[in-house]
Structure 1
Amino acid sequence: MAFMETLLSLILLLSSALLLHSIVVHEGPKSITLSLIHPFSVHSPFYPGKNITDVEKINLLIQATESRMQHLFPTTTMRRQGSRNGSSKIDDIGTLVEFSGAYYLAKVGIGSFPPVPGPKWMSYLLIMDTGSHITWVQCEGCDPCLPLSQPNFPYRLSQSYRAIPCGHQDCPTTREDCFGSFCGFKIIYWDISGPSTKGTIVRETLTFLSDSSRGLTESYPNFFLGCGLQSHNHRFPPHNKAAGILGLGLGGHGTSPIWKQVDKKRFSYCLFISIQASSKLHIGEGARMVGPQVVSTPLMRGSNPSLYYVDLQDISIASFPLRLGRSLSGGCAIDTGAPITILVSNVYAHVRAFFVQYFAQFGIHPYGSGSRPGDVPYFDLCFPRPYGFNRFPTMTFHFRGANLVVQPNGVFAVGGNYICVALRSGATTMIGAFQQTNYRFSYDLELGDIGTLFFAPENCGASA
């Protein structure tokens, strides 16, 4: 049925699995826009075929969300810093991005290697992460290393490579983070036994490969780049393509996020629902939003300094406010890398109880531990679905000054025999990609104390 097809399209999208296709659309002078193609579309080089079941895809999303939470709330030893901004000659930039596992991979050029024929840089795929602020690539001489399907970055051969001595005024970290006699960084994800990477911080040239077929590029010299030399416990697959991290987060200890270093203070995205659709990612002036439906809410700081937070003041279901009050203190993160929305445990308990009450009026009661069929996703709250049932409520997130109204196909995972509430309980509150579809979000990092989040409903998809 159409509802199920739409739901599954959303679910496939929300495995952090968008693909930025290498078709560049010029919407005006000095503007670069990249097309987004769903990775499970037949037009995508990552089309996986039809062997995996719908429930297996949903369960992979749930596992990806749990891994994302472990990644975003680490113990980190990065130190606060001050960094120089890079210069900019155009208003908008973009990169070619593809999907690998549960990550967006952004293709960038690193270094300078003339007079080699062809590109004067080396191309690498970095995990595009709005929850991290430091950009690093695995470098030659690493031990131990991430598994990587291409050679590590040969920094010693790059003509634009500049080492920074430990304690030098240009070093954005303290002596405690030095790597030998050089300026260094050290990131520990999750806890002391979890994934970690450390190495040196160097000055290098970063090049955005916006459209390799047209030779359209933009380079930024003297970029603060992490050179990863020791990585432990990352558990990447043997033929891994990801060579490091492209940090698009708000900020934190260590180097400045990439948008600040290249002096681009605005970006926007619109997540679409159909595997036969495409959408756009804008970086720079093209991300500005205006119009009668556009609303805004101020960004705020939260427990993870790299994440974007807003003030979530209440939640409504089917237009009934839950009056959660102080249970929502501490802010709510907005993250495209988390497929599924997480609610802090006491808030989740209230939301769960309301959904149980809502479906009870139709004589529908949740599966118990003994009655749950094996072909139902691993969500905590699932119900048997009566034939033809379609009385699904909306869910509204009430931010300061703005409401995000999530339609039912962004709240529920629905199959022939089940209805699951697509939410998870956790240690923090974070709105994931599932609840962001068919809205355009724009992050303006110049307005307000920290920045302002603009959003409006939009039919994000166009025919691919």
Structure 2
Amino acid sequence: MAFMKTLLSLISLLSSALLLHATVEGPKTITLSLIHPFSPHSPFYPGNITDMEKITLLIQGTQARMHHLFSTMRERNWNGSSEVDDIVAPVQRSNLFYVAQVGIGSFSAFTGRKDMPYFLVIDTGSQLTWVQCEGCDPCIPLQQPNFPYNRSNSYKPIPCGDPTCPTPRQPCFESFCGFRIGYGGDSPPLTVGAIVRETLTFTSDFRGTEAYNNLFLGCGFKSYNYNFPPEKIGGILGLGFAGNFNLPFLNQVGKKRFSYCLSISEHPNSQLNIGEGAKMVGPKVLSTPLLRGSNEALYYLDLQDISIQNVPLRLQGSFSEGSAIDTGCPMTILVSNVYARVRIGFVQYFAQFHIQPFDSGSKPREVSLLDLCFPIPHGFNMFPTMTFHFRGADLVVQPTGILLAGSNYVCVALQSGSITMIGAYQQTQFKFSYDFELGDRTRGEIGALRFAPQNCGSPA
């Protein structure tokens, strides 16, 4: 069945574990090529694993993310924003990483290039970019040397108490401007270090390099409880909400928008753009406001209702806590009362074809962590869409962004939780642009999310 094959290939992506290989098209736009982690071209290629093992990674990653966000939502950092960092789920549970290769520092005698390249986890919920530095103890295990900051020609320390220190509410690290990033959970990953100024360089396969000088960079000297299995990840590239703060990467490089497109397949590349190239226009482009929420580093939307195959569930008023959108969350989480009604909607849809969900005793063993699964007769292809009705825009998710497939069954890729968050599984085959030059500030809008359907594996 063609649909089943498409779903099975999609499972490979739906860990949202895409590798970003950094390239730059020019001074106005930073362009990052998205490479699937299960591709043999990825440095994080896990070898041949089964579709069920990929499903398990997806489920466990979502559960860990949900636990992390809920358990740390009350924590605050130096700007009054939450200390939640999007990578906690993949760090602790699986290989669900967005990663960019970024050059750091300036080395006149460094063989082959002027900087040192590191893979940094892309984090849309963090305002701090940091790399593990030489002299760390304890350290995250790496297969390459930690960043030798003292040998970099562009390294500039910031003394403790200096008025340019972007983290004045954080304790100093020894005699320098300091940072402390905690990730929540029972045995939380934690990094402590100094804020410095450095040069970050994005390399291009076609047009050389683009360097950004004098940026704030965290130099990690103490890291606890991390579990990066490939031992190739050196730190974090923070793309969280910038606001008026000096620390976030977007503000430092002077960019007002970024966009990404998550491919349905692990073979073609797609892109993440930061800058002018992220602008979206056209008759098919829809727009909804970006809002602040309980976690000020995350991006929130005004979700008003949900439909299953064009049948509204009449959920108005059910999203009082808001709905975040997160590329790092493998699949969508719905607050428990909303999930219960969405579940009924799927059951009612399949009932018209005389298909009833598995009960707890008959559900396939390999998908025991998923709540709602249906046996699928041979040749059946009447699968539903799911529409998220945002203020001013409807995100119509096709069946390949909703269902996980086995040999003779499908499961709904949603989970119940304490928050509502649109995950990466439901974002595939759309291009999304986060544009902070748009939005009505008098109504509390921080920007606009623009989106349109797109084949993310082909140039756009």
Q: What fraction of aligned residue pairs are identical, expressed as a percent? A: 66
Query: Is this contact kept in 1: 2:12–2:265, CA < 8 A?
Result: no
Specify which of 284, 288, 305 is matched with residue 293 of structure 1.
284
Q: Which of 102, 105, 109 is matched with 1:111 structurally? A: 105
Compute the displacement of 1:66 (Å).
2.2
Structure 1 window deviating more from structure 2 (167-176 vs 431-440): it is 167-176
Whole-angstrom distance in 2 between the partners of 1:9 and 1:336: 19
1:389 corresponding residue in structure 2: 380
- Cα deviation for residue 323 of structure 1 reads 1.2
CA distance in 2, matches of 1:340, 1:139: 33
SS of 2:114 mapped into structure 1: coil
Deviation of the 1:148 alpha carbon: 1.3
User: How much does 1:192 deviate?
Assistant: 7.0
Counterpart contact for 1:135–1:225, Cα < 8 Å = yes
- What is aligned with 1:457? 453
Q: CA deviation at 1:102?
A: 1.2
Q: Distance between the aligned counterparts of 1:187 and 1:44, measured in 2?
A: 28
Q: Deviations over 1:32-57 (max 9, x none)?
A: 6454443434665655554x221221
Which residue of the partner structure matches residue 325 of structure 2? 334
Deviation at 1:29, TM superposition (A): 9.2
Give the conservation status (yes or no) of the 8 Å contact 2:27–2:210.
no
After TM superposition, what 4+ stretches of structure 1 lie above 6 angstroms from structure 2? none
1:53 aligns with 2:53: no
The aligned residue for residue 124 of structure 1 is: 118
Q: Which amino acid aligns with 2:428?
A: T
* C-alpha distance in structure 2 between counterparts of 1:247 and 1:19, whole Å: 15
In the alignment, does 2:355 pair up with 1:356?
Answer: no
> Any residues of structure 2 matched to 1:144-159 within 5 Å, and which?
144-159=138-153
1:366 offset after TM fit, Å?
A: 1.9
Deviations 1:232-260 (A, max 9, x none): 112233x5111110001114898622111
User: Which among 420, 431, 445 is matched to residue 422 of structure 2?
Assistant: 431
Equivalent pair of 1:134/1:255 in contact (CA under 8 Å): no
In structure 2, distance between residues paired with 1:161 and 1:276:
38
Q: TM-score, normalised by structure 1?
A: 0.88
Residues 163-221 of structure 1: per-residue CA shift (max 9 Å, x gap): 2122211111225422222211111112474111111111111112233xx56112222
1:436 offset after TM fit, Å?
1.0
- Residues 386, 398 of structure 2: 8 Å contact kept: yes
In 1, Cα distance between equivalents of 2:328 and 2:43 = 21
Alignment of 1:206-355 (within 5 A): 206-211=200-205, 214=206, 216-237=208-229, 239-251=230-242, 256-355=247-346
Matched, 1:66 2:63: yes
Q: Deviations over 1:16-72 (max 9, x none)?
A: 222445787x6x99666454443434665655554x221221111111222333454
Which stretches in structure 1 are left out of the alignment for 5+ residues? 83-99
> Is contact 1:339-1:432 (8 Å) kept?
yes
In structure 2, C-alpha distance between the alignment counterparts of 1:154 and 1:67, rounded to whole Å:
33
Aligned partner of 2:406 in structure 1 is 415
Kept after mapping to 2: 8 A contact 1:72/1:131: no
Structure 2 spans left out of the alignment, 5+ residues:
82-93
Q: Distance in 2 between matches of 1:389 and 1:432?
A: 27
Secondary structure (helix, strand or coil) at the match of 1:125 reads: strand
Q: Which amino acid aligns with 2:221?
A: L
* Alpha-carbon separation, structure 1, partners of 2:7 and 2:372: 17
Alpha-carbon distance in 1 for matches of 2:185, 2:63 = 15
1:79 aligns with 78
The separation in 1 between residues aligned to 2:40 and 2:152, in whole angstroms, is 39
The answer as to 2:34 corresponding to 1:40 is no
SS in 2 for 1:325: coil
Question: Which amino acid letter does the alignment assign opposite residue 8 of structure 1?
Answer: L
- Which amino acid is 1:451 matched to? G
Structure-2 separation of matches of 1:453 and 1:113: 39
Give the match for residue 188 of structure 1: 182
Q: State the match for 1:133 in structure 2.
A: 127
Name the SS of the counterpart of 1:59 in structure 2.
helix
> CA RMSD for the aligned pairs?
2.6
SS at match of 2:451: strand
Alignment partner of 1:40: what SS? coil
Find the aligned partners of 1:272 and 1:257 in 2 and give their Cα distance.
27
Does the 8 A contact of 1:76 with 1:186 survive in 2?
A: no
Whichever residue aligns with residue 56 of structure 1, its letter is E
- Per-residue deviation at 1:117? 4.2
Do the aligned residues in 2 keep the contact of 1:208 with 1:217 (CA within 8 Å)? yes
TM-score, normalised with respect to structure 2? 0.88
CA separation of 1:191/1:378 partners in 2, compared to 1, >3 Å: closer, same or farther?
closer
Retained in 2: the 8 A contact 1:62–1:378? Answer: yes
Question: What is the distance in 2 between the residues matched to 1:107 and 1:21?
Answer: 5
**1:315-356 per-position Cα deviation (integer Å, ceiling 9, x unaligned):** 111111111122111221111111211111111111112212
Paired residue for 1:96?
none
Determine if contact 1:438/1:460 at 8 Å carries over to the other structure: yes
Cα distance in 2 for residues equivalent to 1:394 and 1:291: 24
